[in-house]
Amino acid sequence: MRGDVQPNAQSTGARRVATGRHRARARVTRLALLAATALLVLGVACRPASSLPTLFPAPTFDLTDQTGRPFSSSHLSGKVVVANFIFTTCTDICPLLTATMAQVRDQLRQAKLLGDKVVIVSFTVDPENDTPDALRTYGERFGAMPNEWRFLTGSRQAIDDLLIGGFKVGRPPATARTPGGTPEIIHSNRFVLIDGRGQIRALLNGDELDVQSVVEEARRLAS
């Protein structure tokens, strides 16, 4: 009868070493995963918040967009808004302001912020002439799509309330450039940045707008 076979001491030692190495590798893997998770959380937590001051609450409104549908301030709830002021027959500053807003639109779209997190709005300052059809035609010149960029009109009183009491950008009377000339509409060149809580955070000079800075601030406000 054969007796019990005793394990070889060298073989047993080798197995113990292999097991130890396996456990060490597992510990290293777990530590690496924990470190990666910590860095990810730290990166999100350390993302710089907007340093813009809170100026005053954005006005509420009930207007009509370029498709002829009602559009109110409640549609903007929870979203960052970039807004400006234009009119469709303007041949002076409005085409420049709208072209600049189109650049903002393009960069927001590229950053995957447009629509879900950030909305673009242009308010007419000439509601007597800027019908929804006129606004739609004007917006199409700049590639504006209604789901991304709203052009809004309403009654004279509603627009005046927005300009004067709401956004506080004023509404100067129409003035002729030359004696006896046709009075022309004068309006603000400001771009307005509104956070998701409905607070105005900046009134920016549209003539010298830093598009990339606006997009970065919108990203911070949306995060």
Digit-coded pLDDT (tens) for 79-112: 999 999 999 999 889 999 999 999 999 999 999 9
What pLDDT, on a 0 to 100 scale, did the predictor assign at position 24?
A: 52
Question: Tell me, what DSSP letter sits at residue 143?
Answer: T
Asked if the model's pLDDT at residue 10 lies above 80, the reply is no
Q: Rounded to the nearest 10 degrees, what angle do helices 94-110 and 211-222 cross at?
A: 50
Of 95, 103, 53, residue with least CA distance to 209: 103
CA distance 94 to 147: 21
Asked if the model's pLDDT at residue 9 lies above 60, the reply is no
Helix or strand or coil: residue 166?
A: helix
What pLDDT, on a 0 to 100 scale, did the predictor assign at position 174?
A: 67
- Terminus-to-terminus CA distance in the chain, angstroms? 78
Of 179, 216, 185, residue with least CA distance to 201: 216
Whether 132 and 67 have beta carbons less than 8 Å apart is answered as yes
Whether 187 and 95 have beta carbons less than 8 Å apart is answered as no
CB atoms within 10 A of CB 105: 22
Name the residue with tokens 């292999």. 18
What pLDDT, on a 0 to 100 scale, did the predictor assign at position 21?
A: 56
Using one digit for the tens of pLDDT, what is the confidence trace for 28-71? 456 445 544 444 444 444 456 788 999 999 999 999 999 999 99
pLDDT tier at 19 (50, 70, 90 boundaries)? low
The better pLDDT of the pair 131, 179 is held by 131
pLDDT tier at 221 (50, 70, 90 boundaries)? very high
- H-type helices in 46-160, by residue range? 94-110, 132-140, 156-160
What pLDDT, on a 0 to 100 scale, did the predictor assign at position 123?
A: 98
Least confident piece of the model among 19-28, 112-121, 161-170, 192-201: 19-28
What pLDDT, on a 0 to 100 scale, did the predictor assign at position 16?
A: 56
pLDDT tier at 1 (50, 70, 90 boundaries)? very low
pLDDT tier at 17 (50, 70, 90 boundaries)? very low
Helix or strand or coil: residue 86?
A: strand
What pLDDT, on a 0 to 100 scale, did the predictor assign at position 130?
A: 97
CA angle 213, 97, 170 (to 5 degrees): 100
Sign, CA dihedral 161-128-67-147, equals negative
What pLDDT, on a 0 to 100 scale, did the predictor assign at position 45?
A: 43
What pLDDT, on a 0 to 100 scale, did the predictor assign at position 110?
A: 96
Using one digit for the tens of pLDDT, what is the confidence trace for 118-177? 999 999 999 999 999 999 999 999 999 999 999 999 999 999 999 999 999 987 666 656
